[in-house]
Amino acid sequence: ASGAPGAAEALRAPSAETVQKLAAGGACEAYPLAQPSAANGWVGVRLYIDEVGALRSRPRNARAEALALAAGLSGLAIHGDVYVSRCARREGGGGGEANVDFGLEELAPDSAWAAAARRENGAAAAAHGGGDHFAGGDSGSYAWSQTEEEVETWSR
């Protein structure tokens, strides 16, 4: 057998030890609650979450999940600590973003940014065929759908 690219190799699931090593290093994901757009003055709000919080057995973060729901994103399971950030396009069109203050009172579900995000996220979901952010598809020979609790597949 040659070591050339494309040579058949057996795929193996990672060991528990490998998963633990990867989880120990951690990774942070910026999850958008409000996408920057012309409608909101190019200001975005993001949750910075622990990508492997569930693997680390961190408890679910009810406050972060409620904030995501207030922004029109349902069904998220967020584990561990979260940092909320607001960023705006830099003045003068020089590219990049700058951090903008995000007050404690803006964590309220009825805050102006959350209401605007709810409208924008709802419109984006409707444009993509529904209000559910879970994946699904149809390849012709099989179809699948996903909910918070399960993945369902159909073969033809």
Q: What is the 3-state secondary structure (H, E, C) of 57-103?
A: CCCECHHHHHHHHHCCCCCCCCECCEEEEEEEECHHHCCCEEEECCC
What pLDDT digit, counting tens, does each position of 22-75 carry?
666 667 888 899 998 888 888 999 999 988 888 888 899 999 999 999 999 988
pLDDT higher than threshold 60 for residue 8: no
68-119: per-residue pLDDT in tens?
999 999 888 999 989 899 999 877 666 788 888 988 999 898 999 999 999 9
Alpha-carbon distances of 91 from 35, 87, 129, rounded to whole Å: 18, 12, 35
Q: Which is more confident, 132 or 47? A: 47
Which pLDDT score is estimated for 2?
47
Structure tokens at 138: 């149809």
How high is the pLDDT of residue 95?
72
Q: In what order do the strands lie in the sheet with 151-155?
A: 136-138, 142-146, 151-155
What is the SS3 assignment for 135?
A: coil
Mean pLDDT of 15-28: 71
Predicted confidence at residue 112, as pLDDT, reads 93
pLDDT computed for residue 50 by the predictor: 86
Do residues 73 and 54 make contact, with C-beta atoms less than 8 angstroms apart? no
CA distance 109 to 34: 13
